[in-house]
Amino acid sequence: MTEKDTLEAAITAQGDVVRKLKSAATKDKAKINEEVQKLLALKEQLKQCTVENAGEPAVPKPSGATESTPGNRNLSLKTPKGTRDYGPESMALRQRVLDQVIRVFRKHGAETIDTPVFELKEVLTGKYGEDSKLIYDLKDQGGEILALRYDLTVPFARYVGMGNVFNIKRYHIAKVYRRDNPQITRGRYREFYQCDFDIAGTYDPMLPDAECVKVVCEILSDVGVGEFVVKLNHRKLLDGMFEACGVPADKFRTACSSVDKLDKTPWAEVKREMVEEKGLTEETVDRIGEYVTLHGGPELVDRLAADEKLKQIPSAMEGLEDMRLLLQYCDIFQVANRVSFDLSLARGLDYYTGVIYEAVLLGSGAGGGAEEEEITVGSVAGGGRYDNLVGMFNPKRKQVPCVGVSIGVERLFSIIEARAGGKTRTNETQVYAEHSYKLNPKLLAQLQHCEEYQIPYAIILGDGELSRGVVKLREIATRKEEELPVDTFIEELRRRLSAS
């Protein structure tokens, strides 16, 4: 049995497991999602196997040939693990998403910058907590130890500190790199784009933070990926909660990284990790469990403000007052119905100091079938306040408070690509007036080209039209033709394009 046969048999068996779970009277959503991910992983393996084995049979090596002889290497044509190619249709969808994202960024007054794709490794290390192991190292290049950028936030903080920038509202769209375990069907790659929006500078409390929440809500609404909620929490409140539960101060960050897994890992597994791997007592972890199940709105702020254990911890009270003000601004910005104060939200990156947030899609779509499971991607945006990051590069420079959000555009793109029906238009040509690459092009072939590429109009200009001083305009979709005077043709065409 070939590897392909083995994979196909495994896919069939795994599909049966998923169907049985879905048809069971009591549906365990976490178990279903786990088994669906196994099924998708098998499908991805089969896809890679098919790509590797496609093509011509290997040609026998000539006598005396070596491995280094040109043309004799049996090269496997595939993209590196965690990456993918984008064809014209994929890129057309992708560009439309990016255009919508940029439109919102500019609407809020942001200007754009760019930074190198690699940084000095020491710039990146010590900023991401346990995720630092995912940084891509590069070989020594001329005496500099370099690494590919992990995100756009740390390079932005380096840019602010290095350039003595004290206030800026910027967006940055560029590729980042993570030596992670890829999940292609869920938009999780090793090379991917991030779309960041950040506000650096000293302003009145919670106003920039609220604008970041507003930006997320506008983008997700404009892109149209379905219902979502923006979860909100506060790092000071989290640290206060850990202190109240008996977590040693030197284990706040590691406890935080465990809690951060609750969006995709059951509490029982997170609890096991905190006890067995992080060294926390079971009693302490049980106390944490009582808090991280809480979520709500202003009423939860009031409830926690009255908590006797939290009342003894100043940082927790500061975090709650920030949350109270943030929720009030969210109401003013008309996004209160989109946000949830959620104590399970932790965001494991070390550099966050205040409000943190994460946008999560609700539900898997209308169909509920196996295909819809493939586009359930969970978190699609995240960010928070990082007031101390700029100062980490040079303590002698002035500290610059910052807050920002990163849009998971790859995940949005995965959803939109999976939902796209029919052929996607891949060009921006509105009127076909270019010359076909033939000496004597056939009119029918050129009109068929317009239909295939969904070009709305074609201009037909022959000897007969020229002699009468007219241009023939053909509407491709209806095949309706109309003759227009040459001197008014351009204005009429512009009017029609504007109307459409």
* Alpha helix ranges (H) inside 163-279: 207-223, 235-245, 252-259, 267-272
Distant-in-sequence, close-in-space partners of 40: CB < 8 Å, separation ≥ 6: 183, 185, 186, 373, 374
- Rounded to whole angstroms, the Cα distance separating 227 from 210 reads 20
User: Nearest 5°: phi and psi at 284?
Assistant: -60, -45
470: left (phi over 0), alpha (psi -120 to 50) or beta: beta
Q: How far apart, in Å, do the first and last CA atoms of the chain sit?
A: 57
Are 346 and 274 in contact by the 8 Å Cβ rule? The answer is no
Dihedral of alpha carbons 239, 244, 250, 256, sign: negative
- Rounded to whole angstroms, the Cα distance separating 337 from 345 reads 18
- Rounded to whole angstroms, the Cα distance separating 187 from 178 reads 13
- Rounded to whole angstroms, the Cα distance separating 333 from 328 reads 9
Q: Which of 273, 271, 313 is nearest to 289 (CA)?
A: 271
CB neighbours (10 Å) of residue 360?
19
Q: Which of 415, 413, 405 is nearest to 172 (CA)?
A: 405
Residues at the binding site for L-histidine are 151-153, 178, 194, 198, 347, 351-352
* Residue 100, both tokens: 């919508």
CA atoms within 13 A on the CB side of 84: 19
Residues at the binding site are 151-153, 178, 194, 198, 347, 351-352
